[in-house]
């Protein structure tokens, strides 16, 4: 019934296994990849006819984490996996980016890649396993895919690169200063295709070394996929790339000059209108048959690409007149919005971001329900890209994959410089509103976020800046590396290479390419050129702000205190009665964790102090010999009971009230009266012994013997 093919290899400390032929046999390609006890099934299907009228490749990649894979039931009311989580969306992008450029140019057939996590051992992250499974399924499917690719994760600790560190090692880099890198690399046997990373100020040499290390580790995985395909691959799909040389010649003859003139215009909006007009003029010069050719869009795009790319490589000319390594003019401004906790406007050329910081308490942390368990995050960054930012009218909806991906890239770039939660116990939420865009709005978000947090008084370890690099690589091997790329240079170029970091090193690196990979030489030059650009941008940012500003009067103040863990129950009280009373009486928010760390938050300093005093009175122990102010709560024949320390009462014996004999304590005391008492100690039964006669009842100071 089944025609099963299995291939295995030792990969690092685990065994990697690829299996096909048993499950999902009606898919064009189906592979289950297993690393350790983490298994991901990838299924590939593609239409056998192209959709008419498409001028793009309709590839869709889905990645799904099923809760049963880790023996969990989904949270929430419906108890069913719902819309994709942020992790699922980011992993789908991680898989899409390296495989998309490897389909044969001109292939426009609808293609679906679905990766499903079947088992998770909570040790090996399924994202890399899913990437390998997807590549293997594509390779055996018969689709015109020029793979395979493979991917791996790399850590960096004590000067050593680590292959596929565990989920626990990568869970929260901020809490593990010895672990300085979380890097995912994908590529073919010959070149790197995609890089995604989160780092703690690594040098360019260390980062390049990590990428090269990763590339060496994925080569044997590519060989394993090839071995599987040799035994299990389907016949290649009969696809012939479209030939439109004659059509392109006609398009070029009709409009090369007008297209070149359009690309010479510096202003983006004017250039866009001129390019549209040039295309219309070209179409007007073509025959009816040429206009109906399905390859007309590809021919027009090829003309645009050749005009832009040729000028860059041959003459070093860019469409806005800059040198290849030149950064556009930068303007920075902070404190724009009066009621927000922090704000900044970062403008670089025709790209602009308004970034707003909000500081919250522990109640504002994000709760994350994942296969690896529940966790909380106190640093949030949300990126918005409205249609007006590029001068368009369009539908506005919930954040898409692009918004989530760009926001996470900026988040990764900034996490390395955040203060420790113990030093700055706030939840930080950043919102980036992209108000103009012409290239690298994610890097504008990084720069603006640094300034916005500093404006809010967040004590960052160092400001972070980012720059997007581009590449034009010709068939003869000549190339040009572009700093701070424009939208057209990204669209028509071969690489989008984003580097963010501080003056001391890289905190995030992301690379996507549209060709079959780049060499370490090109990547090294791009990193060096990016460092020069990053330092220039940091210098421009320093003109706006060099140190954290004053804390906003509208932001909550948070004080922390540590109590013994055996006192937590007393602070919370039965059913939360005590802590609710503290909140109601003081007016402050109170949050306590299992380690005994209490956060008290309020814009009002008096409310914080009141809550602090109430908690302190519960958890602290009175000290023998100290003087306390108390209140008489009960008078008896032999003395008076005084509430002197929180809810703690003690007895002032009648002989300890005054330095004279009293007939009855009520001669000088009444219930509700405030008095000063000294703690003499505790009797054999733990009862408190207090005295009044040795304390000046006016000042609260201890009387000397001669007094």
Question: Helix %, strand %, coil % for the chain, to 5?
Answer: 35, 30, 35
3-state secondary structure of 362: helix
CA angle 3/25/226 to nearest 5° reads 65
Domain residue ranges in the chain: 5-232, 245-293+295-315, 330-471+519-542, 557-619, 627-691
Give the CATH class of 5-232: alpha beta
Q: Do domains 245-293+295-315 and 557-619 have the same CATH topology?
A: no
Let me know: does 201 contact 113? Beta carbons within 8 Å. no
Res 705: pLDDT: 67
Res 176: pLDDT: 67
Res 203: pLDDT: 94
Res 113: pLDDT: 98
Is CATH 3.30.1370.10 what the domain over 557-619 is classified as, yes or no?
yes
SS (H, E, C) 225-264: HHHHHHHHCCCCCCCCCCCCHHHHHHHHHHHHHHHHHHHC
pLDDT digits (tens, 9 = 90+) for 278-333: 999 898 888 888 888 888 888 888 888 888 777 777 777 788 888 899 999 999 99
Tell me how far apart the alpha carbons of residues 354 and 434 are, in angstroms, rounded to a whole number: 6
Among 571, 506, 572, smallest CA distance to 195 is for: 506
Question: For domain 245-293+295-315, which architecture applies?
Answer: Orthogonal Bundle (1.10)
Q: Go through the chain and tell me how many residues it has.
A: 707
Let me know: does 189 contact 219? Beta carbons within 8 Å. yes
Q: Which fold has domain 330-471+519-542?
A: Ribosomal Protein S5; domain 2 (3.30.230)
Q: Which fold has domain 627-691?
A: OB fold (Dihydrolipoamide Acetyltransferase, E2P) (2.40.50)
Among 419, 642, 451, 426, smallest CA distance to 537 is for: 451
Tell me how far apart the alpha carbons of residues 629 and 648 are, in angstroms, rounded to a whole number: 12
Element housing 50 (H / E): none
Tell me how far apart the alpha carbons of residues 143 and 395 are, in angstroms, rounded to a whole number: 34
Tell me how far apart the alpha carbons of residues 458 and 122 are, in angstroms, rounded to a whole number: 34
Element housing 704 (H / E): none
3-state secondary structure of 63: strand
For the CA atoms of 44, 48, 54, 56, the dihedral, rounded to the nearest 10 degrees, stands at 40
Res 262: pLDDT: 87
pLDDT digits (tens, 9 = 90+) for 586-644: 989 898 888 888 989 888 888 999 999 889 888 877 878 888 888 999 999 899 999 88
Let me know: does 136 contact 31? Beta carbons within 8 Å. yes
Among 626, 646, 672, smallest CA distance to 585 is for: 646
pTM given for the model: 0.85
Which parts of the chain sit beneath pLDDT 70? 172-176, 516-517, 705-707
3-state secondary structure of 555: coil
């Amino acid at each position: 019934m089944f025609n099963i093919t299995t291939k295995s290899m030792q990969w690092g400390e685990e065994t990697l296994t690829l299996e096909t032929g048993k499950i999902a046999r009606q898919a064009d390609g189906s592979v289950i990849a297993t690393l350790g006890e983490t298994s991901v099934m990838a299924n590939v299907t593609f239409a056998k006819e192209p959709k008419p009228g498409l001028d793009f490749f309709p590839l869709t990649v889905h990645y799904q984490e099923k809760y049963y894979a880790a023996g969990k039931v989904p949270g929430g009311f419906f108890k069913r996996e719902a819309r994709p989580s942020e992790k699922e969306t980011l992993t789908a992008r991680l898989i899409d980016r390296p495989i998309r450029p490897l389909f044969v140019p001109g292939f426009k057939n609808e293609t679906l890649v679905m990766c499903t996590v079947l088992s998770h051992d909570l040790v090996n992250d399924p994202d890399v396993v899913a990437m390998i499974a997807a590549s293997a399924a594509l390779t055996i499917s018969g689709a015109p895919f020029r793979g395979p690719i493979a991917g791996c994760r790399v850590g960096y600790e004590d000067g050593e690169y680590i292959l596929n560190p565990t989920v626990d090692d990568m869970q929260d880099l901020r809490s593990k200063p010895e672990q300085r890198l979380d890097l995912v690399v994908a590529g073919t046997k010959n070149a790197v295709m995609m890089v995604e990373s989160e780092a703690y100020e690594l040098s360019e040499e260390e980062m390049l070394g990590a990428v090269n290390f990763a590339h060496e580790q994925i080569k044997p995985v590519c060989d394993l996929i090839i071995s599987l395909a040799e035994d299990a691959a389907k016949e290649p799909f009969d696809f012939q790339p479209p030939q439109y040389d004659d059509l392109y010649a006609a398009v070029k003859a009709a409009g090369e000059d007008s297209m070149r003139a359009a690309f010479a215009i510096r202003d983006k909006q004017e250039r866009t209108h001129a390019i549209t007009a040039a295309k219309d003029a070209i179409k007007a010069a073509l025959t009816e048959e040429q206009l109906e050719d399905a390859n007309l869009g590809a021919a027009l795009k090829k003309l645009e690409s050749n005009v832009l790319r040729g000028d860059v490589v041959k003459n070093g000319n860019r469409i806005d007149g800059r040198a290849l390594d030149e950064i556009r003019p930068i303007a920075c401004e902070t404190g724009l919005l009066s009621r927000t906790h922090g704000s900044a406007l970062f403008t670089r050329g025709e790209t602009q971001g308004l970034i707003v910081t909000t500081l919250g308490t522990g109640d504002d942390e994000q709760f994350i329900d994942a296969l690896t368990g529940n966790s909380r995050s106190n640093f949030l960054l949300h990126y918005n890209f409205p249609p007006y930012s590029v001068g368009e009218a369009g539908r506005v909806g919930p954040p898409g994959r692009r918004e989530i991906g760009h926001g996470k890239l900026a988040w990764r770039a900034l996490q390395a410089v955040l203060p420790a939660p113990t030093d700055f116990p706030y939840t930080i939420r950043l919102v980036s509103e992209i108000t103009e865009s012409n290239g690298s709005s994610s890097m504008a978000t990084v720069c603006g976020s640094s300034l916005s947090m500093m404006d809010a008084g967040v004590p960052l370890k160092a400001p972070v800046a980012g720059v997007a690099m581009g590449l034009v690589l010709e068939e003869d091997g000549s190339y040009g590396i572009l700093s701070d790329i424009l939208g057209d240079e990204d669209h028509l170029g071969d690489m989008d290479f984003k580097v963010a970091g501080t003056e001391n090193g890289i905190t995030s690196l992301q690379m996507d390419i549209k060709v079959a990979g780049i060499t370490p030489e090109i990547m090294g030059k791009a990193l060096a050129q990016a460092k020069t650009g990053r330092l220039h941008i940091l210098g421009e940012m320093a003109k706006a702000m060099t140190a954290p500003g004053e804390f906003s009067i509208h932001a909550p103040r948070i004080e922390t205190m540590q109590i013994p863990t055996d006192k937590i129950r007393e602070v919370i009280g039965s059913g939360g009665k005590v802590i609710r009373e503290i909140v109601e009486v003081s007016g402050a928010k109170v949050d306590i964790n299992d380690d005994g760390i209490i956060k008290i938050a309020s814009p009002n300093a008096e409310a914080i102090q009141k809550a602090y005093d109430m908690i302190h009175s519960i958890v602290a122990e009175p000290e023998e010999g100290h003087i306390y102010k108390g209140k008489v709560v009960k008078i008896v024949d032999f003395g008076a009971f005084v509430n002197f320390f929180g809810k703690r009462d003690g007895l002032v014996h009648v002989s300890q009230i005054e330095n004279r004999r009293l007939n009855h304590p009520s001669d000088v005391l009444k219930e509700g009266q405030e008095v000063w008492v000294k703690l003499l100690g505790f009797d054999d039964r733990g009862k408190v012994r207090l005295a009044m006669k040795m304390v000046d009842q006016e000042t609260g100071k201890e009387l000397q013997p001669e007094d």
